[in-house]
């Protein structure tokens, strides 16, 4: 999985989604940086 090249808006969305997690944890770091194919992902909720 590649490192994300996120727009500023996408990064803001992701930061909001991960607002309540500890980003110092190795698992959360991997998940925060992960980019999967966008198919069927639901992004409109934030």
Decide: is 36 part of the binding site for other proteins (CB under 8 A).
Answer: yes
Report CA-CA distances (Å) from 20 to 1, 5, 16, 23, 39: 24, 23, 8, 9, 25
User: How many of the chain's residues bind other proteins (CB under 8 A)?
Assistant: 26
Q: 2-31: which residues touch other proteins (CB under 8 A)?
A: 16-22, 25-31
Give the residue with the Cβ less far from other proteins, 8 or 16. Answer: 16
Decide: is 32 part of the binding site for other proteins (CB under 8 A).
Answer: yes
Decide: is 42 part of the binding site for other proteins (CB under 8 A).
Answer: yes
Q: Measured at the alpha carbon of residue 42, what is the angle toward residues 38 and 43, in degrees to the nearest 5? A: 85
């Amino acid at each position: 999985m590649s490192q994300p090249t996120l727009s500023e808006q996408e990064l803001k969305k992701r930061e909001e989604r991960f607002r309540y997690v500890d980003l110092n944890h190795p698992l959360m770091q991997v998940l925060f940086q992960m980019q999967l194919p966008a198919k069927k992902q639901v992004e409109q909720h934030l």
